[in-house]
Homo-oligomer: A and B are copies of this chain.
Amino acid sequence: MDKSFILKGNICHTPVPGQLVIRENAFVVCEDGICRGVFDEVPERYAGLQVVDCGDRLILPGMTDLHLHAPQYAFCGTGMDDELLLWLERTAFPEEMRYADEAYAARAYGVFADRMKRGAATRAVIFATIHTKSSLILMDCMEKSGLVSYVGKVSMDRESPPELTEESAASAAAAEREFIRESLDRGYERTMPVITPRFVPSCSDALMEELGKIREEFDLPVQSHLSENPGEIDLVAELAPWSAFYGDVYDRFGLFGRQGRTVMAHCVHTGEKEAERIKECGVWIAHCPSSNMNLSSGIAPVRRYLDQGLRVGLGTDIGAGSSPSMFRAVTDAIQVSKLRWRLSGSGERPLTFAESFYLATKGGGSFFGKTGSFEEGCEFDALVLDDAVEPCARRLSVRERLERAVYLGLDERGIVMKFARGGLILEKKNR
């Protein structure tokens, strides 16, 4: 199958936030990996393209997992009785140390990439570890998976265990340059490096300054963490007493979206000033509800962010997030928004299904450019979903079937075809 074809089936997408558009028994055209729109009949000009009849199945845009840690998949779902800083010390850091061993990295990242391939994400923005070679191994695995991804070698030179502390800002910068150059040299088609200061507590000002320069030098995007947990925020205030707020630290060093795309995970406790700066700088927020529950961080005010016009997508945040399922991230986001509405007294309306679906598709997808819906001109990422893997007693509407498939978490079981940029990356003969 080349990158020009037509899928026929029940097409569901959210071109506009909160508006689920459903076209039953319709045709979506992919030409050279680019979506040409949804049609009730095949337009004359595409009459020569192969039509893949997906029958009664659902056809959805590929999703974007906007924040996750590949090395942490090995323990995903364990160590969940701790809060952030303790969890890092007892669970996350000890695992990340293992990636000094490239044989381990090859095995573990292989398992990880295989899981990503089976899931609903066609795009991902991923943390590796401080280890240059292992991070490149992860890039190899991701390239092979067919997903389109950004992978970051993590930078950290303080407030971390010795095994995960780079010797100096200079050596960390050198390692980062090596990682970037080597990854560019490898000529990946769909795997790109991203500047990755772990978070402010683990990066000295000197390192941040270096990363700012490297960002400029290579014109790369940036990913990090922001305002996840009160303890962490206090620590940042101590470490950077000159800062107006947590995000101000990244901004000071040219790592906050003004100069190029930046995604910040969490923003659970972001105040008005930080939110304004996020808006001003065009930073993406990766909302990670599972992680924010597991680490007792709280509930991000996503309704407020959307009302303010901020850019928001969803992340599984493996392994603080305890599920690799993007469908689950969609429902988690809705569920926690309902609890926030009920418990915070803020009057912020809960997210609707269509809004959360938008965040998982076009919301996060926009970090990659134009993808995440079936509008004309989007890069063609799609899932063909057989929701009949979970039997149902009666005929539901397509709208109901979609909501049900997402709430029941049928992504892994139900996805029978998966495309990224028009390339078929997974095909399953289901049952």
Contact = CB atoms under 8 A, between A and B. Distances in A.
Interface string A282-319: 00000000100111111100000000000000000000
Interface string A48-88: 00000000000000000000000001111111110000000
A352 B82 CA distance: 9
A98 B394 CA distance: 10
A107 B393 contact: yes
Nearest to A410: B77
B111 A392 contact: yes
A245 B334 CA distance: 31
Given A339-B293, A392-B111, A409-B323, A78 B299 contact: no
A339 B78 contact: no
Contacts of A322: 331, 407-408
A343 B409 contact: no
Contacts of A393: 73-74, 104, 107-108, 110-112
Classify the interface of chain A: helix, strand, loop or mixed: helix
Nearest to A405: B77
A217 interface: no
A44 interface: no
Interface string A370-411: 000000000000000000001111101000100111111100
A410 B77 CA distance: 11
A296 B341 contact: yes
Most interface-central of A77, A322, A353, A400 (chain B CB within 10 A): A77
Contacts of A33: none
A74 B390 CA distance: 11
A407 B295 CA distance: 14
Interface in A254-306: 290, 293-299
Contacts of A190: none
A324 to B, nearest CB: 8
Contact of A343 (B339, B392, B394, B406): B339
A341 to B, nearest CB: 6
10 contacts: A74-B394, A78-B404, A108-B393, A110-B393, A115-B391, A293-B338, A296-B341, A296-B350, A298-B342, A299-B342
